Amino acid sequence: MPLSAPWHTNIRAQFTTTRTNQQTNEANNQTNQQTNKQNKEKNCANLMRKTGNPNVKRGV
C-alpha cells in the first residue's frame, strides 16, 4: 500500500491483515492439536507393541 494512501485506508488494511492472521493462527492451532492427539495415539500403540504391555495409558 503506497504511503500516499489515506490514513484510514492503511488502518483498515492493517485490521484486515490482523484478522486474517488471527484466523490462520486459530486454524493452525486446531490442526496442531489434532496432529498432537494422533501422534500421542501412535506413540501409545508403538509402546504397547514394543513392550507387550496392554496397560500403557492412551494419549488423550
Q: Report how far residue 50's alpha carbon sits from residue 43's, in angstroms, rounded to the nearest whole number.
A: 10
For 4, the enclosing helix (H) or strand (E) is none
- What pTM, to 2 d.p., does this model score? 0.62
**What digits encode the pLDDT tens for the residues 3-43?**
666 777 788 888 889 999 999 999 999 999 999 999 999 98
Say yes or no to pLDDT of 1 above 60. Answer: no
- CA 3 to chain CA centroid, nearest Å: 34
Cell numbers that stand for 50 in this block: 514394543
More confident residue, 58 or 5: 5
